[in-house]
Amino acid sequence: MFRFFENLVDPYCAYTQEDRPPTRLWPFLRAYARPFRRVFIWAGLLSVAVAAIEVWLIYYMGRVVDILGGTPAQVWADHGLELLLVVGFILFLRPLIQLLDVLFLNNAILPNFGTMIRWRAHKHVLRQSVGWFENDFAGRIANRIMQTPPAAGEVVFQVFDAISFSIAYFIGAGVLLITADARLLVPLLGWLVLYGVLIGWTVRRVGPASKAASDARSAITGRVVDSYSNIHSVKMFAHDDRELNYAKDAIEESRRTFQAEMRIFTIMDATLVMLNGLLIVGVVGWAIWLWMQGQASVGVVAATTALTLRLNAMTGWIMWALTTFFRQLGVVAEGMETIAQPLDLVDAPDARELVLTKGEIELRGVSHHYGRGAGGLDSLDLTIRPGEKVGLIGRSGAGKSSLVKLLLRFYDVESGQILIDGQDISKLTQDSLRSQIGMVQQDSALMHRSVRDNLLYGRPEASEDEMIAAAKQAEAHEFILDLADPQGRRGYDAHVGERGVKLSGGQRQRVTLARVILKDAPILLLDEATSALDSEVEAAIQKTLYGMMQGKTVIAIAHRLSTIAEMDRILVMDRGRIVEQGSHADLLAKGGLYARFWARQSGGFLNPEAVE
């Protein structure tokens, strides 16, 4: 039974991905609700049915009071069958309807609705560009991915568990009072008007207050995760107190916004008690007055009293449900600031797969300044021949990393073109482009997974023997065999910690190299590929690197000039332009910027801040 309802909606069902999802709240929620339409209809109908049964039970209790006026024998003779049918309804049919109601809500909707939102939101965020991630806290992004789905689920829950139920209940209460005596509807309607005013006052304030509180909570998460992610720096500089103060500012702002939110609820609760007093006195008092005038039966007084007391008990729950509804809408609205952001870098509508035949790279008038008007690249023209090995040097900020990021299409160029084998990369699919490029970065961060998972990230379909061969080439196999984690996993199954923190810098770099060796892409980008290695290991790795380069088009960034001296061509960059190019010997003979860099080296390193 449970499985049937749990499988009514597949949260991972196929859907049309939108590069620009709805940015307004209700269209956003409607887009996610499409697979649940039929389930929502059934949940709404069952919620109304449950409310109607509750009101009918109150009405029938009043009827029981009236029919008990005769002798037991007479009552049984006149109403025995009716009473038995009602007993059967209460014992069997009512629980069945209630069971169906909660099965749709608790088993068909809640687990699947939140799961679907989390899945699709994560999928959308993963499609964002590298630059998008660089402009936000990873912790805040993750927090919004995690808190938005349960908030959206709570919104749906309140719609069917409270809002539709209460609307149906109030309508049923009105019908009951009209049936008893239409005049009893007057105090109920007066109370409903005042109750509506209170709801309106609360709702207008709760939504913004809840969004502010949710923003503040996300800010705390962002700051705390930032501290934890950089715990080595925190400890190294002995800045525990500074990090505490940094977090305290956000924590205090969260407290302030939460206090403002709670003040609204306090005012709401106090006002509601007064309104409910008016409801009880108005409806029950009037019913008693009508009975005293002989215009209403005892059953009517009993039914209206029971109904009024039930409404009195429900109003606090309804108000809390409504405020919860709008509070959670505020959380969803805050989460939408991340998960409904349009993609700023997408494949062209008619994007093709990259067909790499030779490996020629060409930049035509490429400019990119990250929207700042300075830095990056400035009208750069460059052709790298198939299989050519190019070294790239320059001061910090000269544009070296920008060139690599643009080639990987982590950003789109602001002007100009980048072509691979004559194909404009802006018209290619991003996945096909990056699948043909292998890159070893200076920051050799790894996934918090096993060594095997990290290596196979380069080529998931690789065999065990191919994986081990790549690790051996990168001088990593021996230390990998000695690894063990706290859970007892060893060797290639050992987990490396967040960003590979359990490994030394050199070990991380060798695992990264092995991953790129395993990928075996025809274009190779090296950004300080041996910067974390000691001299002995670097000497061994250099042989591996030069072996990797055979038959590939290579761009290598290095501050250690000795590592690129054997390249076919060396490009010297300054202020986003290529100011010198040639072989190592040619550039030394020119006596220009490269020669001065070479002369200023200490231990084979380039000072990136060196001036002419």
Query: Can you give the residue ranges of every domain in the chain?
Result: 22-339
Q: Is the pTM of this model over 0.85?
A: no
Please tell me the total number of residues recorded for the chain in this structure.
Answer: 612
Closest CA to 405 of 527, 319, 528: 527
Strand partners, 380: 366
Query: Which tokens sit at 172?
Result: 């049923």
Q: What 3-state DSSP class applies to 418?
A: strand
Residues of the chain with pLDDT under 50: 602-605, 608-612
Closest CA to 181 of 264, 21, 297, 277: 297
Closest CA to 388 of 577, 581, 608, 529: 581
Listing DSSP states for 146-189 in one string gives HHHHHHHHHHHHHIIIIIHHHHHHHHHHHHHHHHH-GGGHHHHH
150, 214 in Cβ contact below 8 A? no
- Going through 117-270 in order, the beta strands assigned E by DSSP cover none
How are beta strands 523-527 and 361-368 bridged, if at all? unpaired
CB atoms within 10 A of CB 412: 15
438, 516 in Cβ contact below 8 A? yes
Start-to-end CA span in the chain (Å): 78
Query: Which tokens sit at 300?
Result: 């009517």
Strand partners, 382: 363
Structure confidence by residue, pLDDT tens digits, 388-444: 999 998 888 888 888 999 999 988 998 999 999 999 999 999 999 999 999 888 777
The rounded percent of the chain whose pLDDT value lies above 90 is: 29
407 half-sphere exposure, CB direction, 13 A CA radius: 29
Fold assignment, 22-339: ABC transporter transmembrane region fold (1.20.1560)
Residue 318's alpha-carbon distances to 104, 489, 511, in angstroms, are 21, 52, 58
Name the amino acid, one letter, at 430. Q
CB atoms within 10 A of CB 324: 18
Residue 154's alpha-carbon distances to 105, 136, 213, in angstroms, are 11, 27, 17
Those residues with Cβ within 8 angstroms of residue 52's Cβ, 6 or more apart along the chain or in another chain:
168, 172
496, 514 in Cβ contact below 8 A? no
Strand partners, 424: 419
Listing DSSP states for 23-41 in one string gives -SHHHHHHHHHGGGHHHHH
The sign one gets for the Cα dihedral 521, 524, 525, 529 is positive
**What pLDDT, on a 0 to 100 scale, did the predictor assign at position 529?**
67
568, 583 in Cβ contact below 8 A? yes
